[in-house]
Chain A
Amino acid sequence: MTDTLLQSIITGVLMGFVYALIAVGLSIIYGVMNVVNFAHGDFVMLSMYLSYMAGTLLVWDAVATPLITVPLLFLFGFITYYLLIDKTLRQLYVVQLAVTVGLQIFLRSLALIVWKAQPRALQYSIIQGNIEFFGYSILTSRLIAAVVSLIFIAAIAYFLNKTWAGAAIRAASDDLDTASLMGVNYHRTYALTFAIGAALTAIAGGLLMSFQQTDPQGGMRFGVLSWCVMALAGLGSLPGLIAAGVIVGVAEAVAVTFFDPRSRLLAIYMIFILVLWLKPRGLFGRK
């Protein structure tokens, strides 16, 4: 019993880092432009399909596919920003909502048409087997996914804190007008933010494809859990996002192991509601 519990906690923690990586994109986008991207989970789904395609066509390992999918998603985010989001910034909130929900429906339909309803998975991976860890066995691909996710979250932290483009993003999320008085062209900064958010889902997508399958409805799960991670963390704290990702990952793993595999979203959602009751600004947010 405790063995099974610890085993599922370990799995959950590792998964939580990947969730944190997904939520980082959503959170930066929301923090900077006040847009909740309801299609964020479907960006992950799209990334996973693109990884699947790259992996099958080129016979590449899933974890290598971000070399191709990251530029694609970056471009996709950039174009999506200018075609859809930029036009809605000064509009009513419901217009933004309609646009990103519409994008979600579009991506799901597209996936259904292109890849049909059956799930897809990549067959071969050079990263096979398990690693033993104090008597618990960890799937190597999950460990790698967790480590790579952490590395990229650290890279984002570096980018935000040490580069001009990162400073522009932080300034724009603090005070847009004043940032523009400093010379920040917010259309460009927003487009970059959106593109980075999308590119991060491509990294996560490749990592996930090394041990999971994808299906057209998969975006639902990643959408819900990344909103939960963001809400749990509160705005403006990358360590908070990591902690929140881990909480969500563990809750999911424990619910799947001890209750019912179909209860994963329910478990995540219940934690989300609980935190909204107790700490509406999130566990680690500022202010």
Chain B
Amino acid sequence: MIRVTDLYSGYGKVPILNAVSFEVSEHEMVAIIGPNGAGKSTLLKTIAGLVHPSSGKVVLEDQDVTGLPSYQIVRHGIAYVPEGGRVFPNMTVMDNLRMGAYSNRQTLKEGVLDEVFTLFPRLKERAEKFARTLSGGERQMLAIARGLVSRPKLLMLDEPSLGLAPKLVDEIYEKIRLLKESGLTVLLVEQNTTYALELADRGYVLENGRIFMEGSCAELASSDHVRKAYLGL
């Protein structure tokens, strides 16, 4: 589905990503774990077109999408749910969701809003509320729902558990599990290694902007490095 090859990227003259390569197959859920500051968000932002790569390739289903601006990337079927959700605070929940369909308005006619309301009933209750009035968990749900509204081929989630109470993390991950079971292709970035490795099919460890390890989640979870550095065992 998506293949990233030898990607170099950063901010201005500061290099962050160093020869990053990985791939995600269709219907697969891949996790990228790594410590704070490793470059996980930079990686997703580079794929999404918010950060310009200095070299390397991003290919989505045989289409080269490297370095396209973000407003074009979403048209190719990649939805990026940014760290912290980044909902539009002064728009209603409903308008936030409708913005998710900006690149693919057809989906609204196909009843995509009913689908996301089925997955996140709480958003339906809050539909006419301004997003700024939502709790942290609700914002995260809204951000994921908004990403789904465009019916992406690939959903990229940036630390969906960030800053949430454990109970809410469980709830969010239950939703992500449902999405995975529905066959959606997901690229998940997490510092919350336990959750990520439990749910994903495969994983990569990103450290200092480089892919340090890769393997099935079971392999990663049993490796000494991951156990010591990420699972605290």
Contact B100 A182 (CB under 8 A): yes
Known contacts: A171-B88, A175-B86, A286-B90. The answer to whether A181 contacts B74 by CB under 8 A is: yes
Query: Chain B residues near A171 (CB, 8 Å)?
Result: 88, 91, 99, 102
Query: Chain A residues near B75 (CB, 8 Å)?
Result: 183
Does A236 reach chain B (CB closer than 8 Å)?
yes
Does B3 reach chain A (CB closer than 8 Å)?
no
Does B191 reach chain A (CB closer than 8 Å)?
no
Known contacts: A167-B95, A177-B50, A178-B82. The answer to whether A184 contacts B102 by CB under 8 A is: yes
Contact A180 B91 (CB under 8 A): no
A184 to B89, CA, bound (A): 17
Residue of A nearest to B146 (CB): A182
Does A185 reach chain B (CB closer than 8 Å)?
yes
Does B80 reach chain A (CB closer than 8 Å)?
yes
Contact A180 B102 (CB under 8 A): no
Contact A170 B90 (CB under 8 A): yes
Query: Chain A residues near B122 (CB, 8 Å)?
Result: none
A184 to B99, CA, bound (A): 9
CB distance from A136 to the nearest CB of B (A): 40
Within 8 A of A (CB), among B100-147: 100, 102-105, 146
Most chain A CB within a 10 A radius of its CB, from B69, B80, B91, B95: B91
Does B98 reach chain A (CB closer than 8 Å)?
yes
Query: Chain A residues near B95 (CB, 8 Å)?
Result: 167, 170
Does A106 reach chain B (CB closer than 8 Å)?
no
Query: Chain B residues near A168 (CB, 8 Å)?
Result: 99, 102
CB distance from B147 to the nearest CB of A (A): 9
A164 to B105, CA, bound (A): 10
A199 to B99, CA, bound (A): 26
Within 8 A of B (CB), among A139-195: 164, 167-168, 170-171, 173-175, 177-186
Residue of A nearest to B70 (CB): A180
Q: Sort A-B residue pairs by CB-CB distance and give the 6 closest, nearest first.
A: A183-B103, A174-B88, A180-B70, A178-B86, A182-B102, A183-B102
Task: Tell me the A residues contacting B by CB distance below 8 Å.
Answer: 164, 167-168, 170-171, 173-175, 177-186, 236, 286
A sample of 18 cross-chain residue pairs with beta-carbon separation below 8 angstroms, ordered by A number, consists of A168-B99, A168-B102, A170-B90, A173-B90, A175-B88, A178-B87, A178-B88, A179-B99, A180-B69, A181-B74, A181-B79, A181-B82, A182-B102, A182-B146, A182-B150, A183-B103, A184-B71, A286-B90
* Given A173-B90, A177-B50, A185-B69, 8 new contacts (CB under 8 A): A168-B102, A170-B91, A175-B86, A179-B88, A180-B71, A181-B79, A183-B75, A286-B90
